[in-house]
Structure 1
């Protein structure tokens, strides 16, 4: 009986299961629901509520919490009795975040988005000279856009650039904005209104500029500190590119950027 129980807990292979999806340890997965509940809640919880959110009775949850407490994954407040994530959980999270490369996380998502919307998708980061294209995912159909890796985008005359101008700290953009502003047919009030719209929509839009006949949307991607990590731009011919703020391309781009931000630890 003991051997059978051990094999079940450890996820040992059974006849006919070879080649199926990898099996795990069920008890770890069950206990992990408690950790997931704490992450979703974002605040310490009493045992009753925590167990309910994890889908188990309190009597079943308690032994898991004791073990997690010994590992430092969970801490219990001695005054309120509430359970929260422990120091070791924080260390694990920070180690994972420090090991993340934003571009490596974003690239496969950009490729999937390009396939889904059938438009080219570019990734830009803030470089020494401003917003710089570091990756371009081309869709399966021919989309002729005169852009290549290494291109530095105008800060005020492109959706990519205005995204960085809207979300980066002013100390990083003031000089470049001042240099470009003199060449723009914009007032300061109009420029600030555009930035406010970009922050509200979580998108910047360019219709036929800086590349004639090409429309573009750019969405910001944030890291775990809430700082702008990169920008992701969908672009294509105006004849096949829906420019509506709530159109299919805009919605899917927002969703893609939010998914990348979540992978980088952005919350809220």
Structure 2
């Protein structure tokens, strides 16, 4: 033990592993095995062991359809702890429970990552509903949460994510989405009709701080008939009230016109 913590002594395999993670993080996009191997110049057999270990630990996530690797949910947890973002989750947790108790729908909290908004907290009492998402899921720009991040996220931070998402959307729908996001910035609530799974829709509210910086989104997901499509609804009004209360606790003041 003394040898390990001795000044100047390092564990080479850890250094190599951290180098792999840093390489993936710097690229800011999903990478295939061959991409990582080319960038790191690590032998294929050793690289496979590192990637497989990181994936099993949740430090990396591997897409089943493409085999590409991105940073995993465990790193998001570490990152939030490092910048004291866990305080955000602590503060919103009672509100998430309140929403879930009142409307019996799944409630999610999503936070920003280099690859887009990711679900980092989930409260789902009805496990029989397939909402098409779980902790660690990256949300598309046309989801209720995705629209909020499009509307409120800093342009420089979100540019690459937007460009990638736009490549999957017809041009006329991109223009419609931009118009919709202007309304979302004004009303501070977002709606999405069956963005991931048929018959499952969502509504989301932003968590804003005193600078009107988006800290994350709280999303209610359920069967489409139980999820509103506009703000003129009991659930929408309740969420708008909750949103003001949550964001006020981070110093945000609603602009009165």
The TM tier, using the shorter chain, reads: 0.5 to 0.7
Instruction: Please say if 1:162 is aligned against 2:131.
Output: no
User: TM (normalized to structure 2)?
Assistant: 0.61
User: TM (normalized to structure 1)?
Assistant: 0.59
> In the TM superposition, what is the alpha-carbon distance from 1:99 to its structure 2 partner?
9.7
Give the match for residue 225 of structure 1.
Answer: 211
Superposed CA RMSD in Å reads 2.0
Equivalent-residue separation in structure 1 for 2:228 and 2:191 (angstroms): 11
Total equivalences in the alignment: 170
Among candidates 204, 211, 234, match of residue 197 of structure 2: 211
Q: Structure 1: which 5+ runs fail to align? A: 1-97
> In the TM superposition, what is the alpha-carbon distance from 1:100 to its structure 2 partner?
8.3
Among candidates 169, 191, 195, match of residue 184 of structure 1: 169
CA distances 1:128-154 after superposition (whole Å, capped 9, x unpaired):
211010111124685332321111111
3-state SS of 1:209 partner: strand
Q: Structure 2: which 5+ runs fail to align? A: 1-83
Equivalent-residue separation in structure 2 for 1:133 and 1:100 (angstroms): 14
Give the match for residue 128 of structure 1.
Answer: 114
Q: Is the 8 A contact 2:131 2:222 kept in 1?
A: yes
Give the match for residue 240 of structure 2.
Answer: 254
CA distances 1:157-190 after superposition (whole Å, capped 9, x unpaired):
2111110010011111111111111210233532
1:238/1:149 Cα in 2 relative to 1: closer, same or farther (>3 Å)? Answer: same
Hey, which bits of structure 1, 4+ residues long, moved more than 3 A? 139-144, 186-189
Structure with bigger gyration radius: 1
CA distances 1:33-86 after superposition (whole Å, capped 9, x unpaired):
xxxxxxxxxxxxxxxxxxxxxxxxxxxxxxxxxxxxxxxxxxxxxxxxxxxxxx
Q: Is the 8 A contact 1:215 1:243 kept in 2?
A: no
